[in-house]
Amino acid sequence: MQPQIEKRFNGFMVSRGLSGWIVATMLGWLVGLGGPASVARAQGATAPQGVSQAVPGFWDPRRRPDRPDLSRLTVIRFMTETDYPPFNFTGPDGNPAGFNVDLARLICDEIKVTCTIQMRRFDTLLDAIASNRGDAIIASLSVTPELRKRVDFSDLYYRTPARFVARRDAALAEVRPETLDGKKVGVVAGSSHEAYLKAMFTGAELHAYPNDEGLRQALKQGEVELIFGDAISLAFWINGADSENCCAFNGGPFIEGRYFGEGVGIAVKKGNDVLRQALNWALFRIWEKGRYTDLWLRYFPVNPF
């Protein structure tokens, strides 16, 4: 397993988890999933009837967007990156695959427009859209004030929360700053998660590890009582073979934008309001019809929220 690293994206730091083992784990789930795992209901999340998992919602049903003029859209050239599973990766057939790719296809189906999806290196995406080699970036691109100066964004379609994980036989009834006083908590050194713990959980005894693999092994071996990190990659670890069913989420989620970002949107060229409004309308419709829920449950059997 490769550690979570920081990619420098045209001068901006973007946290990217590049754990290659996720691909094999996820592909097994996508073939004949027996059903989502039960998890605690997250704040602000909703669960469809008959579904035990809480699914995050990012759209307000009271703010239904008007249908834009779609007649000016003849094709949408989506761009995504090559290796960020489970959001985008090369599938067994050699074609683009992943959560972002499938969401792009749902958008195209909703708008009823021809679409292409090209995979590019992550650090080339902004230049590609600026030079008109693509129309929209759907590559788990975090919305930041710096990036807003270069591109426009659709509405958010997911966020990357932080969560605590504990051993199943030692979970805490509540996870608050005061309940973690004196507790040994593991975190990746130099990460935004470490910064958050230092600011908000000042009584915890922090143990910093160089990478995710060392962090998770520390929890399995009882060196620490909890670990804190990116909930999406932790969800795959919890439900994968490497964890040996040792651990589960405990408390959370934590979504403070100052530390963990505003969220993820689809980037378009500055001033391309026709496409941006079309994407917002399509995203709302996909969510309203339950298709976003279906997609989420397919990719996240253990909910990061």
Cβ atoms of 272 and 152 within 8 Å: the answer is: yes
CATH of 162-259 given 3.30.200.20, 3.40.190.10, 2.40.37.20, 3.40.50.10420: 3.40.190.10
Contacts of 32 (CB under 8 A, 6+ apart): none
- CA–CA gap between residue 14 and residue 8 (Å, rounded): 6
According to the model, what pLDDT value does residue 56 have?
77
Listed by start position, the domains of the chain span: 4-159+262-299, 162-259
According to the model, what pLDDT value does residue 292 have?
96
Share of the chain above pLDDT 70, in %: 82
Angle between helices 291-299 and 273-288 (to 10 degrees): 80
CATH code reported for the domain at 4-159+262-299: 3.40.190.10
According to the model, what pLDDT value does residue 34 have?
31
Q: Nearest-5° angle of CA 78, CA 79, CA 81?
A: 150
Residue 293 token pair:
């829920």
- CA–CA gap between residue 3 and residue 272 (Å, rounded): 37
pLDDT digits (tens, 9 = 90+) for 77-126: 999 999 998 899 999 999 999 999 999 999 999 999 999 999 999 999 99
Q: Is the pLDDT of residue 29 over 60?
A: no
Confidence of residue 220 (pLDDT cuts 50, 70, 90): very high
pTM given for the model = 0.78
Q: Name the residue with higher pLDDT: 3 or 189.
A: 189
